[in-house]
Chain A
Amino acid sequence: MLYISVPLGKLVRRVSRLRGGGSALPGLVVEKIDPGFMKRTLSTLPHGVAVVSGTNGKTTTTKMVVELLESQGLKVFTNRTGSNFTRGVAAALLGEVDWRGRLQADVAVLELDEAHAVHFVNSVPPRYCLLLNVLRDQLDRFGEIDKTAQLLQHVAGKTTGTVVLNREDPRVARIAETLTGQQVHYFGLDDSLLSTFPNDDDMRAAPGSPLPAALPEKPHADVVLRKVGPDTADFEYDGVTVTTAMKLRGVYNIFNAAAALALARSICGSGAATADHGTLLTALSQVEPAFGRGESLVVDGQPLDLVLVKNPSGFRLGLKSFAAGGYATMIAINDNYADGRDMSWLWDVEFDSLRDGGVDQLTGSRAYDMALRLQYDNVPIGAVEPDIAPALAAFIREAKGKPKRVFCTYTAMLAIRRELSKITTVEVVS
C-alpha cells in the first residue's frame, strides 16, 4: 500500500532543509496527515525499538549503542540529529524510509527525553528501554525529580521485553520493583568508583545519610564498570573482567559505555552465544563523544575543550573530570528556553576547584549571575561580557598560546561553535 504522507513529508523535509530549518516541521506534517505513520513503520523492525532515556548522557549513550549494534552487523535506525521529540523521530524516519514508506533497518535505537518518552511509548511500546539516571535538570519543565522518576517508570512499564536500569541511581534501580512481566538487567559501578558519582541527594547530605532509600541489597549487574585509567577502562561481564582502550574521556561517559554495553548485550543476546564480544569491545574502544558532550577542538594551534554543562551534577562532573591547572577558563551561561530559565542550579555547584587559577572570561545572558556565584566562592574573575561573540574573541586573544577550556550551557555552546567557525579554522580532534 502506498501512503501519500511519505512523499509529501519527504518533500517538506527537503524544503525545510534548503531553508536551513530544523527537523520538527516535516515530522509535524506527517504526524498531522498520517498519525499512524511512525507506529506502522517502526513495528516492522525485526529487533523492535529500544528507547534510551534519563537526564544526562542520552546522546553519547545512544551513539554508543548504535555503534555497538552496528559492530554486530545490525542495520540501525536512530535519531542522530539529537532531536529529543516524537516529532523529531518522525522526521528522522522520513529521511530513512524509501518513497513507499519502508524502513531498511533491523532495530531502532531512539534517544528520548523523559516527558516525550512517555508520549512515544504510549503510541509505540518499545521492546527494550535503557534508563540512565534521574538528576535535577530542567525542573522548570518537569516539575520535580520524583515526578521525573515516575515518567521513566511509565516508560519501563510500557516496555515489552527487557528493561536496563542503572543499579547505582536509587530512583532508577527502584523502578524494578514496579515491573511484572519484563526482564530486568542492570549496569553498575565498582564500589571504589561510587564516590566519583555524587547524586543530587548526596550533595548537601551528611556522609552516610540514607536518602533516598537505597536498594536493600545490590542486585547482580549484567555489566559493571570496575576501573577507569587515563585511556582505558575495565568492564566486568559474564564473570570476567576485561580491559579495553577508550577514546571517551571522563568517568561519567565511560559509565554510560557500561550502560550501552548492557543494552547491546540485551538486544544481541548476552552470554557467549550470540554477541561477538571481541567486536563489541573494539567498537566500544572506538566510540567518540557525541556532538557537544565534551569536545576537543584546535584553535590557533592550541586545544580548546568545550564542556557542556546543563545541570548541577553535570557541572560538578565537568569540574571533577577535567583538572583546572594549566588551562585558561571561560564559562558561558545562557538561560534560553532550551537551557532552562532557572539559574538556581548554579548555587548547587561548588567552584572551589577554580579558585587557584581563576576564571578568565564569563559570558552569556546570565554572565553576571555566574560572576556573582563565583564571587561567593571567592573565585577570581577576569572579564565579564554577556555578548558571546566579543567575549569569545577576547578570551582567545588574551589566552594566546594557552590551552583553553569552555564550560557552556546548550545554547551557549551552539553560539560558540558558530563564532569559532567564523574567527578561526576549527579542527575537531575528538
Chain B
Amino acid sequence: MTEESPVSRAGKGNSKGNSKGTIRILQLYPRDMNIYGDWGNALVLKRRLQWHGYTPELLEYNPGDDFPADVDIIVGGGGQDSGQLIIQEDLQLRAGTLTELAEDGAPMLVICGLYQLFGRFFKTRLGTVIPGIGILDVETQGTDERLIGNVRVSTPEFGEVLGYENHSGQTTLGSGVRPLGTVAKGTGNNSKDGQEGARYKNVVASYLHGSLLPKNPAIADFLIRTAAERKFGTFDPGTPDDHYALLAREHAARRPR
C-alpha cells in the first residue's frame, strides 16, 4: 500500500507512512466568504481524504495572498454583502488562474456567494452590475425576497441532495451549464424554474449550506475522486463510515421547510 502512484508527478505524492498521496485543498476567501457553516465543507474533505487513506493539506487564500501552486481541490462559500464587496476586486485578479484550473478539470465546490461570483455577473436590486469571473454561464439578480429553508434536490449524479438555503439573489442558468438537480422541496436557483445549482466540467455550484458536504458524502467523494485521478491517474477509495450521515439524511429529509 505504500507505493507511490506511478503517475504521481514531480514529487507531489506523499511518501510518508501508508499515505496514498497528498491532496491539497484550497479554501477561497475563508475570512470573508464563510457563512452558515461553509467551513464544514473543507473539514469534510480533509477528514474523508484521511479516511480514504490520503494525506490532506488544507490551504487558505485571502485577498492579497500569493495564490498557491499545485492546488487539487478548491472550495468557497457564501458571505455577507460586505464580505462580497471586500473580495470582488481580488477575485478579478485571480479570474485567469481560476478559469484555467476549471477548464483543466480541477474539482471545485462553490456555495451561494461564490457560486454567484463564479457566474457572469450579479445585478443588485438597485441595478448596479457586479462582474463575476464567468467560469459558469449563469447570471444573478438581487431581489428583496429572501429564500430561506430546508431544501431537497433530486440530482442525476449524486442522488438526493439535502441542504439549507438562505439567499436573496436569484440565479438563471445559460446554455453553457446544466443544473445540479431539480428541487423537490425549497426554491433553489430562483423562484421560477425549479432548478438548483449548476454543473460545469468538475465545478459543482450550489446555494445549499448545511454544510453541504457532511450530509452529501457522494459530492465530497466526487471531488476527492476527481482530484486523485487528476493527480495520480487512479483513485483508490477507502471505506469511510457513513452510517451517521445516512441517519442524518433520513431525519433531515423529514424536517419542515
Contacts and interface: CB of A to CB of B under 8 A. Distances in A.
Interface in A348-369: 348, 365-369
Nearest to A367: B251
A386 B38 CA distance: 25
A345 interface: yes
Contact of B148 (A140, A212, A366): A140
B164 A344 contact: yes
Interface stretch (B93-101, B176-184, B210-218): B210-218
Interface stretch (B7-15, B130-138, B192-200, B241-249): B241-249
A347 B37 contact: yes
Contact of B40 (A205, A344, A368, A384): A344
Given A209-B31, A341-B164, A368-B251, A375 B244 contact: yes
Interface in B209-227: 209-211, 214-215
Contacts of A204: 30-31, 34, 39
A139 interface: yes
B149 interface: yes
B47 interface: yes
Contact of B32 (A139, A140, A211, A378): A211
Nearest to A337: B256
Contacts of B38: 344, 347
Contacts of B149: 140, 341
Contacts, number: 109
Given A204-B34, A368-B251, A344 B209 contact: yes
Nearest to A144: B80
Contacts of A384: 244, 247
B252 interface: yes
Contacts of B166: 139-140, 143, 342
Given A369-B248, A369-B251, A371-B248, A343 B39 contact: no
A366 B146 CA distance: 24
A323 interface: no
B150 interface: yes
B209 A365 contact: no
A420 interface: no
Contacts of B4: none
Interface string B35-51: 11111100110010000
Contacts of A367: 251
A368 B245 CA distance: 8
Interface string A142-160: 0111100000000000000
A341 B211 CA distance: 13
Given A140-B148, A140-B166, A209-B62, A373 B39 contact: no
Contacts of B247: 368, 371, 384
A322 B115 CA distance: 39
Contacts of A145: 80
A348 B39 contact: yes
Interface in B1-38: 30-32, 34-38
Contacts of B164: 140, 341-344
Given A146-B81, A342-B166, A372 B214 contact: yes
B224 to A, nearest CB: 15
Contacts of A205: 30-31
A203 B79 CA distance: 14
**B62, B244, B252 — which one has the most chain A CB atoms within 10 A of its CB?**
B244
A393 B189 CA distance: 44
A272 interface: no
Nearest to B44: A376
Can you list the 10 inter-chain pairs with the closest CB atoms, starting with the nearest? A347-B40, A347-B37, A344-B37, A368-B248, A344-B36, A368-B247, A371-B244, A372-B244, A344-B209, A347-B211
Given A365-B255, A368-B244, A376-B43, 19 more contacts: A136-B35, A140-B166, A143-B146, A143-B166, A146-B80, A204-B31, A206-B31, A209-B31, A209-B62, A211-B32, A342-B164, A343-B37, A344-B209, A348-B39, A366-B252, A371-B248, A375-B244, A376-B47, A386-B251
19 contacts: A139-B35, A140-B166, A143-B146, A145-B80, A212-B82, A341-B255, A342-B166, A344-B37, A344-B40, A346-B37, A347-B37, A347-B211, A366-B255, A367-B251, A369-B248, A369-B251, A371-B248, A384-B244, A386-B251
